[in-house]
Amino acid sequence: MRIRSLIVPVVAGIAGLAVVFLLTAARTNVRVESVDFDHVVRATSPAFDARLAPASDAGIKAFRIPIKNATIEIAKGVTYDGWTFGGTVPGPVLRVRQGDQVRITVVNESDIPHSIDFHAARIPANVAYRMILPKDSISFEFTANDPGAFMVHCGTPPVTMHLMQGMYLPMIVDPKGGWGTKADKEFVLVQSEFYAKPGDSTKVGSAVAIPMQPDWKAAMAKNASQVVFNGRAFQYKDAPLKVDVGDRVRFFVVNAGPSFDSDFHVVGAIFDRVYPDGNPAHVLTGVQTYLIPAGGGAVFETVFDPAASGEGLYAFVTHSFADAEKGAVGIIQVGAPKVFATMVH
Ligand SMILES: [Cu+2]
């Protein structure tokens, strides 16, 4: 009896110390990491860099995202007058961890109004997603409470126009406890479609390549000219995503639309895990193809096991094949397969 009455306060004391320690740890996690996408621009040559680095352990992540017009390359040799977040299409990937505080500043450096819409945020849309006039900016913050692979986009009407011009980017929120597996490689892929028609060649000499222009009628008819991963048709056929034999590979796939679904599939592999929306609570196993709606995202994992999907070439596609024919197909090169030189695609 006497011993028990001694033990209880001691145990309570230890528990109290643990709580204090955890609170202190939480307080020390207020390190701010700032990224200015005017200075951190993702490589787009020879292909948009799809590789992903882990999120830092900073508890507050601040991003400055400039909106700017840019001439982009939507297929080999085909340029387009786009509107962008950060100068590329898609815009830069934002990666945070569940529970992080996310501080956003968007600066409109273009000549027409735009806005930004974070699918990862629970926030009053009329405040955070309001119109940003030229030369104006907006700042707001939210806690990334929901894990996932999210779309971020301009929501200014007509939204179809702002999306077909290139105004979207992916945001990844890693689950608090991690993904439950150790990935050897991680890639981000954003599917989207363009509706492009030839620009006005009467304004410049005919020898100059004219950037393509938006074709609104084609967009309303859902008759895309290109369907792409990471902004350019077929780019990962020429510059495959490279992994090693035995690698577990995690793909964060976001479908920016504006109007098409994505039926994500890897030829010659089966996903041993799919997280619809990128939420581990939704885990599926043994999946051949998984549908990502326009405005949605999902996380896919597969292992390039030497005894199964080992050394070789694997196409990733939207299995809606008319869309794959228009550019939504790429190659994953596992190891250094000898058939590489003779592979026909
Ligand atoms: Cu816009």
pLDDT recorded at residue 49: 96
Distance in Å, CA 154 to ligand 1 centroid: 5
pLDDT recorded at residue 7: 47
pLDDT recorded at residue 253: 98
pLDDT recorded at residue 67: 98
Distance in Å, CA 151 to ligand 1 centroid: 14
pLDDT recorded at residue 196: 97
CA dihedral 291, 292, 297, 301 (to 10 degrees): 30
pLDDT digits (tens, 9 = 90+) for 120-174: 999 988 888 999 999 999 999 999 999 999 999 999 999 999 999 999 999 999 9
pLDDT recorded at residue 52: 96
Q: Is 226 exposed, middle or buried (0-12, 13-18, 19+ CB in 10 A)?
A: buried
pLDDT recorded at residue 154: 98
pLDDT recorded at residue 127: 85
pLDDT recorded at residue 298: 98
pLDDT recorded at residue 14: 47
Q: Which residues of the chain have pLDDT under 70?
A: 1-29, 201-208, 339-345
3-state secondary structure of 152: strand
Distance in Å, CA 114 to ligand 1 centroid: 4
pTM exceeds 0.85 for this model: yes
Distance in Å, CA 324 to ligand 1 centroid: 27
pLDDT recorded at residue 340: 55
pLDDT recorded at residue 11: 45
CB 296 within 8 A of CB 223: no
Distance in Å, CA 98 to ligand 1 centroid: 27
Strands 248-257 vs 296-303: parallel, antiparallel or unpaired: antiparallel
Per-residue HEC secondary structure of 50-119 comes to CECCCCCCCCEEEEEEEEEEEEEEEECCEEEEEEEECCECCCCCEEEECCCEEEEEEEECCCCCECCEEC
Strands 289-292 vs 262-266: parallel, antiparallel or unpaired: antiparallel
- Structure tokens that stand for 189 in this block: 């892929």
Mean pLDDT computed over every residue of the chain: 90
Distance in Å, CA 110 to ligand 1 centroid: 9
pLDDT recorded at residue 338: 82
Residues with CB under 5 A from ligand 1 (ion): 114, 154, 156, 162, 167
Residue 59 carries which side chain, given as an amino acid letter? G
Distance in Å, CA 319 to ligand 1 centroid: 29
Distance in Å, CA 155 to ligand 1 centroid: 6
Distance in Å, CA 333 to ligand 1 centroid: 36
Distance in Å, CA 41 to ligand 1 centroid: 19
pLDDT recorded at residue 203: 65
